[in-house]
Structures are given as structure tokens and as C-alpha cells.
Amino acid sequence: MNVGFAQTALDRADHIRADRDALARLMTPAARLLSLDGLDPVIALEGGLEWRSLGEADPQSELLFLGLDGERGCFAEVPRDLKGSMAPAGPKLWRTMSQLGPTDLATYGGARSLVDWHARHRFCAVCGQPTRLAKGGWQRTCTSEECGAEHFPRVDPVTIMLVEHEGDMLLGRQPRFPPQSYSALAGFVEPGESLEGAVARETMEEAGLKVRDISYVISQPWPFPSSLMVGCHAYADDPTITIDETELEDARWFSRGDVVDALDAVQHGEAGRAFRAPPAHAVAHTLLRWWVDRD
């Protein structure tokens, strides 16, 4: 299955991150610097992501090592005045990302998450003192000699689940979704909770449904700001839906035919007869495609 944001072509080269000399040797004019407009991608004239020479980086920026493209180092910068963002991707960003191929999309997603994390973690969460970049950007260290706490880019696990009842699929919509759009239910995994527990709890909280036979399907990195979407499937014996209106605007059951029609329509940028399917970049789209194809 093709999963958006997951098909990077860069070698993350973990062995280089902690080697200052090796990193320094990569910082040559041949090294590539990813162009970003704040946190958004910049499209090159010939298409795809725009890359510049590392020498064009702002001297005041922090440089993050993204990985290797062959023997070339690839970097991104964190401008001194950049503010992070917890906001979901808007229509303009989705239109821009739709111009990127799978590997460029994955490279951008990883870079966005990393740049955003650094922009929002300039101070130590333990003592409040400034932090400095370490390990090529894969760590920040408190500058206080008394503290010295080490901080690492975080990833928040989110379960996203297809719930099935007698051949129909449960989908819901949030108020911020585009008109007619429905998607799989989803929610953050809480401390001390298993993935299966999160699937059961979120489905009960959002739709009032008790589920069984929970199984894992696929995962996806999601850079808004930095989540790991864990795709699951489950069954419900009772189809009675009770919506949590603080979470969802609507939730309903759709037939397999409805889902097939919506997936076909979204390839042309259109809504299906029953609903508009999630875009191809979203793991919910991949999950729905898996569901209709598995039989």
C-alpha cells in the first residue's frame, strides 16, 4: 500500500548525527538546503521540492541534518524568528502538497515536523533555561550546567480506525472538514493506554459504539505537527450511533458501494454520491482502499 509521507528517499544516517566531524565534512557548497516558506514547502520551477545551496542559509538560523542523498548532506534551517504551529493543514497547503511526488512529500513531512519541533522547544521544559541544538538537530540540550536535560523530537501516537458492521463502514465528520467530507474516527493514545484500548475508548466516546476484534492495518507519519497515525480495523455488533457533538458534527454508516464510489470520485477532485472521501495523502484514504480491496 502506498502511504503518504512515508516513502522518503533520504538515508537518515543516524551514525553521523552524533559525529561533529562527520557533520562538518558534509557542510560543503554541494550540500542541499531545503527551501521552506515558514513551515510550508516551496515548489521548484521544474516541479518538486526546491533545494538551495547550504551557503544560502541565514547565519542566524539553526541547521538541521535531514539525512543523506547519496553522498550529499541534506539540511533544513530553523529561522530565529520562526514560530511553530499546531494547526492542521489548510486547503492552500493541501493544494501545494498535491504537487509533490511520494518521496518529496515524505521528505517535506519529516522536515516540517523537525523544524516545527525546534521552533517550539527553544527552552528547557525542566528548568526554563535556553536549549541548544545537538546531534545534528535530533536533540536539544539544556544550556544550564545544573540541569543539562536532553530533549528529543516527540511523536504523538494517534489511532485511526475503520469500524465495520455487517458490511457497512462507520465514518464521521468534524465541523472543520470541507463540505460532504467524511473520514475514519481518530483520537490520541493516552498515557498508560494500549492501541487496542485507545481504539475502543475513542469509538465509544465519539460514536457510542462498543467494538471487538481490533486489528492493526498500517501506520503513517503525519506532520501536523508530528503524529504517528496507527490505522486499525474493528467490528461493532450494535449499529446504534450516539454522537459526541463536542468531537463530531455527524457520523453514519456507509455501504461498500458508497465507499468505492467516493474513492473513485476523489481521484478526480470530486465528491461521491454519498460523501467526499479523504485525499490520497491521508491514511484514512489508504485504510478505505484496503477495506474495499481486501475481498
Interval 233-249 mean pLDDT: 96
CB atoms within 10 A of CB 222: 25
| 11, pLDDT greater than 90 | yes
Interval 118-128 mean pLDDT: 97
The CATH superfamily of 156-293 is: Nucleoside Triphosphate Pyrophosphohydrolase (3.90.79.10)
| 1, pLDDT greater than 80 | no
Q: What are phi and psi of 163, to 5 degrees?
A: -110, 125
Interval 114-132 mean pLDDT: 97
Residues near 271 by beta carbon (within 8 Å), at least 6 away in sequence: 179, 180, 181, 262, 265
| 10, pLDDT greater than 90 | yes
Q: Give per-residue pLDDT as tens, 186-212.
A: 999 999 999 999 999 999 999 999 999
Which class for 124: exposed (0-12), middle (13-18), buried (19 or more C-beta within 10 A)?
A: buried
Cα dihedral sign for 111, 7, 1, 219? Answer: negative
What whole-number distance in Å separates Cα of residue 210 and Cα of residue 262? 26
Computed over every residue of the chain, the mean pLDDT equals: 96
Structural domain spans, the chain = 14-120, 156-293
| 259, pLDDT greater than 70 | yes
Interval 225-231 mean pLDDT: 97
Tell me the CA end-to-end span of the chain in Å, nearest whole number: 15
Interval 248-255 mean pLDDT: 98
| 90, pLDDT greater than 90 | no
SS3 256: helix
Q: Give per-residue pLDDT as tens, 157-193.
A: 999 999 999 999 999 999 999 999 999 999 999 999 9
What whole-number distance in Å separates Cα of residue 280 and Cα of residue 2? 9
What whole-number distance in Å separates Cα of residue 188 and Cα of residue 130? 29
> CB of 199 within 8 A of CB of 232?
yes
Q: Give per-residue pLDDT as tens, 37-48.
A: 999 999 999 999
Say what the pLDDT of residue 230 is.
98
Say what the pTM is: 0.93
What whole-number distance in Å separates Cα of residue 206 and Cα of residue 191? 19
Q: pLDDT category, 34, cuts 50, 70, 90?
A: very high
Q: pLDDT category, 295, cuts 50, 70, 90?
A: low
Cα dihedral sign for 233, 170, 190, 230? Answer: positive
Say what the pLDDT of residue 133 is.
96
What whole-number distance in Å separates Cα of residue 262 and Cα of residue 185? 17
Strands 156-165 and 211-222, how do they pair? unpaired
Q: What are phi and psi of 118, to 5 degrees?
A: -65, -40
Interval 45-69 mean pLDDT: 96
| 273, pLDDT greater than 80 | yes
Interval 11-22 mean pLDDT: 94
Minimum mean pLDDT among 88-92, 125-129, 141-145: which range? 88-92
Cα dihedral sign for 135, 140, 141, 144? Answer: positive
What whole-number distance in Å separates Cα of residue 210 and Cα of residue 227? 25
| 30, pLDDT greater than 90 | no
